[in-house]
Structure 1
Amino acid sequence: MQITFLGTSSGVPSRQRNVSATAIQPEKSRHWALVDCGEATQHQLLHTPLSPQKLSIVLITHRHGDHCYGLPGLLASCQLNGRTEPLTLVAPEAVWRYLQAVIELTDLHITYPLQFVAVNSALSLNIAGFRITAHPLSHRVPSWAYRFEETGIPKKLNLARLKEDGIPSGHHYACLQAGEDVELPDGRVLNSAEYTFDSWSARTVVIAGDNDTPELLSEACRGADLLVHESTYTQEVLEHVGPEPQHSSAERVARFAASAGLRNLMLTHFSPRYLKKARKKRDRSIEEIRHEARLHYSGRLFLAEDFEAYVLDRNGRCHYVQNLKRDHHRQPGKQSSTRGAPVKKEE
């Protein structure tokens, strides 16, 4: 399972970061899902192997512009590139009204099927290799987290049980492994679920929108392997800014991740005041976020950057793979790939 960050800044873009957009892709599939679509997301995609034509679903966490202004442009690009496959959009009603206004006022014609689903707590979709559910958060406007649970995991035959039950090998083995129930010549009916098991445990990722109360994700993170959560400020800055923006600090998220027993934590949505490289004495460094989170969380910790690709392996461990844009420019003429050996980046 792969997670690719297309935008990791909060509010406005900076020289190093665009605004929010995160892609998630199941193993061995070209289809993928997109969480949030900040302005210029379609430009960010040009530096990755992700194809907008293989995008199956877009999920918007809330109606603020840094999470949805890029939606009309991305949909228009899909149209102009000849998309014919359906596309599902999950979002608050306000985002759909915004999109309809843009379509009407700019003569945007979308001929491929665009299915809108209003986000709510009862949401449950099976699409793009995931079972997706929605979980409410706390922000200035209604905001949501999306839980992605892997589906379609290949089955393995329980050969020991087949032998124990005296079931000889034959074509019915393949049928059972494919999930089909079969009837033997002697009249016995074999249930596929009783003679197969998943090749690996389903992986689960929770990607949250803006949220000042990480504890609201306790149920969503139950059994999850990775939480991707905003860490807009350090606690000191959050207290200085005050409660009105309703964002989280690195400390808040790290404390929750530790209490929830999460093995992997990915922080994103950083205030532009935190620079990748602090050049002046008064500059704030992104390392302040990392240091604060590490004080309260001892698991696998990552701070996302634009164009970074991560893999959640079959054992539920998150690994940094590469920066798609940077590594592509280092090797002119070569297609970037995320299939190579992971490079350790966490602390």
Structure 2
Amino acid sequence: MQLQFLGTGAGMPSKERNTSALVLKLLEERGTVWLFDCGEATQHQILHTTIRPRKIEKIFITHLHGDHIFGLPGFLSSRSFLGGEDTLTLYGPKGLKEWITASFNVSKTHLTYPIEFVEVQEGVVFEDEQFVVSTQLLEHVIPCYGYRIEQKPLPGELIIEKAIELGVPKGPLLGKLKNGNDIVLENGQTVLSKDVTAPPKKGFIITVLGDTKYCESAKTLSENADIVLHEATFDHKTEHLAASYGHSTNVEAARVAKEANARNLILNHISSRFLPHDLEALLNEAKEIFPNSFIANDFSQFEWKNSELLEDK
């Protein structure tokens, strides 16, 4: 699993940061990509990456502020020209479908693929054999949702030596055991999958928080998460502004990660008031509370490998 940030700014684009967009690459897990928010010019940002728009199967929108959705009509339209044919599922608050439909009706836009709209409410919004995605309302100036993405436990590794000792021949029967299926050998002996496989591996948990002030919902969504993506629009010097605008500081984001017993924190949604030379101090303030903190820039990439978060520098 990899994370790539396409836009990490707050409110409006700047020379250093575009508006909000994050890609969750699940190419190894399911051969697809998920997009979280789609601020203005997201499709332009994609041009500077290896991301293929037709691989994006799901888009999750946190809220309907322009810096999180104004890139959607253009991206959805271009996906048709780029060979998109598979269904795209669009998750978001009430009003998202109405806005997209009106934009397409007025502009006479025709898509070559179907869109499935899911109006988000608190609770589980998606589940299959691999993942569960749940959401809760955060505290912003309009309805805004945070998403918790949980990968279900992975099958334990097959202990080949043990299977062979029990008389299992090399071939497809080993694959059945690895996939959790019990088998019967030619001599009538039953070999149980649990006897020749290691315990299931814990899947990863990622929390993607939209715009929010410090709140209990953010902590609940982040509980025991491997990676928390939290906005840091302000710092401690401007803390008096944060809550009134429905936003958080870097220090508050670190508190959420610490109190939720998360493993890693990535600061995102950075105000243009912070110039490149301010970022080290912004990050260090968070690290004083939560040492495993990172700060995202446009095109930053992170990889979850062997239960460790690696930043691609």
Amino acid in the other structure paired with 2:158: L
Measured in 1, the distance between the counterparts of 2:243 and 2:222 equals 25
Secondary structure (helix, strand or coil) at the match of 1:132 reads strand
Instruction: Say if 2:220 and 2:260, in contact at 8 Å, map to a contact too.
Output: no
Residue 178 of structure 1: aligned partner: 179
Deviates more, 1:71-80 or 1:185-194: 185-194
SS at match of 2:136: strand
Task: Determine the structure 2 residue equivalent to 1:309.
Answer: 301
Q: What's the offset of the Cα at 1:49? A: 0.6
- Alpha-carbon distance between aligned partners in 2 of 1:242 and 1:264, rounded to the nearest angstrom: 23
Counterpart residue identity of residue 117, structure 2:
F
Question: Which amino acid is the alignment partner of residue 13 of structure 1?
Answer: P
Pairing partner for 2:283 from 286, 290, 312: 290
SS of 1:220's equivalent in the other structure is: helix
Distance 1:291 1:52, change over 3 A: same
User: What 5-or-longer segments of structure 2 have no aligned partner?
Assistant: none
Aligned-pair CA distance for 1:68 = 0.7
Aligned amino acid, residue 312 of structure 2: V
Q: Give the whole-Å Cα distance in 1 for the aligned partners of 2:68 and 2:38.
A: 5
* 1:335 corresponds to: none
Equivalent residue, structure 1, for 2:115: 114
Please give the secondary structure, in 1, of the residue aligned with 2:230.
Answer: strand
Asked if residue 321 in structure 1 is aligned to residue 295 in structure 2, the reply is no
Q: What SS does the corresponding residue of 1:78 show, helix, strand or coil? A: helix
Distance apart, 1:63 and its partner CA: 0.8
User: In structure 1, what is the equivalent of residue 250 of structure 2?
Assistant: 250
Whether the 8 Å CA contact 1:33–1:128 is kept in 2: the answer is: no
CA contact (8 A) 2:222 2:256 kept: no
Equivalent pair of 1:56/1:127 in contact (CA under 8 Å) = no
Q: Secondary structure at 1:243's aligned position in 2?
A: helix
Quote the residue 1:50 is aligned against.
51
Structure ranking higher in helix proportion: 2
Partner of 2:234: 233
Residue type of the partner of 1:293? A
Q: Which runs of 5+ in 1 are unaligned?
A: 278-284, 323-347
Q: CA deviation at 1:115?
A: 0.8
Closer, same or farther in 2 for the Cα pair 1:217/1:242, shift >3 Å? closer
Distance 2:153 2:87 in 1: 20
Secondary structure at the counterpart of residue 221 of structure 2: coil
Q: Give per-residue Cα distances to partners, 1:35-92, cap 9 Å, x unaligned.
A: 1000000000000011101111000001111111111111001012221111111111
For 2:223, give the aligned amino acid. Answer: R
Return 255-264 or 78-87, whichever deviates more. 255-264
What letter is aligned with 1:75? L
Cα distance in 2, alignment partners of residues 194 and 233 from structure 1: 53
The aligned amino acid for 2:40 is: E
More deviation in 247-256 or 1-10?
Answer: 247-256
Question: Aligned pair count?
Answer: 310
CA distance in 1: counterparts of 2:7 and 2:265, whole angstroms:
17
Paired residue for 1:262? Answer: 262
Q: Which moved more, 1:215-224 or 1:19-28?
A: 215-224
* Contact map agreement 1:26 1:150 (CA 8 A) in 2: no
Deviates more, 1:24-33 or 1:65-74: 24-33
Q: Which amino acid aligns with 2:268?
A: T
User: Could you say which residue in structure 2 is the equivalent of 1:326?
Assistant: none
Distance 1:175 1:159 in 2: 12
Say if 1:314 and 1:214 are closer, same or farther in 2 by CA, change over 3 A.
farther
Q: Is the 8 A contact 2:234 2:242 kept in 1?
A: no
Contact conserved, 1:122 with 1:133, CA < 8 A, in 2? yes
Q: 1:261 Cα deviation (Å)?
A: 2.4
Shift of 1:182: 3.4
Instruction: Provide the aligned C-alpha RMSD in A.
Output: 2.5
Distance 1:154 1:244, change over 3 A: same
CA contact (8 A) 1:214 1:253 kept: no
Q: 1:140-190 CA distances to partner (integer Å, 9 max, x unpaired)?
A: 111111122235846422458758xx8421342221213434344566666
